[in-house]
Amino acid sequence: MTDRVLVYGVAVAGLATVRALLRRNIDCLAVDDSVDDTKRRVLADLGVELVESPSDSVLTGLISASALVAPAPGVPESHPVIEIARRTNRRLVTELDLAYEWESARPGGARPIVAVTGTDGKTSTTLLTAAMLESGGRASVACGNTDVPMVEALDLDVDCFVVEATSFRLAFCESFRAEASAWLNLAEDHLDWHESMKSYENAKARLWSHVRENDSAIGWIDDPVVMRHLARTHCRRVTFGLESADYRVVDDNLVGPGGEIAPVDGLSRALPHDLTNALCASALVLESGLADRRAIARALPEFRAPSHRIEFIGEAEGIRWFDDSKATTPHAVLTALRGFDSVVLVAGGRNKGLDLGELAAEVSRIRAVVAIGEAAPEIVRTFSGRRTVVTACDMGEAVVAARDLASDGDVVLLSPGCTSFDWYDGYARRGEDFSRRARELIGARS
């Protein structure tokens, strides 16, 4: 066996891992099941050997000759590389573990790390936390499941890291920890990656597996699974929620253990999940001691959630239009629905094995439904006999149908509860198409 690291999967995070290893003079081998000319060219330029789609026997030999196996986040836990690595007693190391261990050995000491996980809301909360830190004068980077993997972020001139930690990145973690870490929620998702819902839950829980006594674990008080795991942590335990939590809303103010943080009307948008995201981000920066309440109050009015997350498009004839294309689970759709009283819901796409019947949990907020994509029959079954449901064959037809079903005071909400890969190559393209067509219709009606 050599000191070589086998990196399996060389998309964004995998390539970042390869480059980070090379910068530290660590030998590595790249292996991938889906290789194109771009990957071949990049790895050739780096001088890294690439093995394409190896058989299990060949892969066993490659793993046996390596010290570590670093699977990219896109490699599911059922993949042969995971099984073979475990069978041959090779350590599985994630990019979060690599980054944490390298940062821990940094001359001058490690820089502070805070982290966020959850089924929904991770990206918005991560970015809001980074904005609060910047407002407090700390150069920070949102990394992990963002455009910047954490192994790449280490080389940036920053004071601290805000890590978006997905279950994919946490599943095999053996050392990663953060001074303050938050678990937002847990709902059925990613069962095409995880072997079971229990495996998904256990991956999320690894966020708190290596906490130290002075760290802070932060959990959403209204999620029983999160609270069960929070109760088991061996560090400071902190809760957030609209009511009855350490960080909560009182008399239209965000409030923490130290008192009032900021007025609710200071937020750029104040839907229920915006408030819980703001409370969680506030807890992260205050509990870690990285920013104060004044920094939070300055950041909140300027922060805008990322695109395609209940993003306001426009209004005409008393009807408001919102793009929530990022909502690819029923849990995310329910979160969006709870922000409105009367919704024409545009839902469907390619289901990733989830129970779309859960969408009916907020049927009282839904006026009518437009079913789209491969999952349209499932959407129809969910709401048949309870609400008016029409099926659209494309997004243009969906927008027109939604407008015909809506009345003054309603919201038209694209919140699909499914992936976009039946009609589009990603949720962003789906949201852009919906928004463009909605703006054209709004312009014509105005």
pLDDT digit string (tens) for 321-378?
A: 999 999 999 999 999 999 999 999 999 999 988 999 999 999 999 999 999 999 999 9
pLDDT at 2 over 80: no
pLDDT at 445 over 70: no
The CATH 3.90.190.20 domain(s) of the chain lie at 311-445
Q: What is the mean pLDDT of residues 286-311?
A: 96
Residue 188: predicted pLDDT: 87
Residue 192: predicted pLDDT: 81
Measuring CA to CA, how many Å separate 187 from each of 217, 334, 382? 19, 11, 19
**Sign of torsion over alpha carbons 387, 392, 396, 397:** negative
Q: Of 274, 418, 398, whose CA–CA distance to 344 is shortest?
A: 398
Looking at CATH, the fold of the domain delimited by 311-445 is given as: Protein-Tyrosine Phosphatase; Chain A (3.90.190)
Q: What is the mean pLDDT of residues 19-42?
A: 96
Among the four given CATH numbers 2.60.120.10, 3.40.50.1370, 3.40.1190.10, 1.10.10.10, the one describing domain 97-302: 3.40.1190.10
Residue 233: predicted pLDDT: 97
Residue 60: predicted pLDDT: 98
Q: Of 358, 283, 345, whose CA–CA distance to 310 is shortest?
A: 345
Q: Are strands 388-391 and 91-92 parallel, antiparallel or unpaired?
A: unpaired
Residue 1: predicted pLDDT: 52
Q: Are 356 and 375 in contact (CB under 8 A)?
A: yes
Q: What is the mean pLDDT of residues 238-243?
A: 97
The CATH class of 5-93 is alpha beta
Could you tell me the pTM of the whole model? 0.91
DSSP 292: -
Percent of the chain past pLDDT 70, that is, above it, reads: 99
The CATH 3.40.1190.10 domain(s) of the chain lie at 97-302
Q: Which residues pair with 322 in a beta bridge?
A: 312, 413
pLDDT at 385 over 70: yes
Q: What is the mean pLDDT of residues 185-195?
A: 87
Residue 189: predicted pLDDT: 86
Place of tokens 């209204």: 222
Q: What is the mean pLDDT of residues 421-435?
A: 97
> What is the distance between the alpha carbons of residues 25 and 43, in angstroms, rounded to a whole number?
16
pLDDT at 446 over 90: no
Residue 378: predicted pLDDT: 98
Confidence of residue 443 (pLDDT cuts 50, 70, 90): confident
The CATH 3.40.50.720 domain(s) of the chain lie at 5-93
pLDDT per residue as tens digits for the range 58-71: 999 999 999 999 99
> What is the distance between the alpha carbons of residues 312 and 297, in angstroms, rounded to a whole number?
23
Please count the other Cβ atoms lying within 10 Å of the Cβ belonging to residue 161: 27
pLDDT at 190 over 90: no
pLDDT at 194 over 90: no
Residue 7 sits at the vertex; the CA angle it makes with 6 and 10, to the nearest 5 degrees, is 150
Q: Both ends of the chain: CA-CA distance in Å?
A: 70
pLDDT at 381 over 80: yes
Q: What is the mean pLDDT of residues 34-47?
A: 95
Residue 209: predicted pLDDT: 97
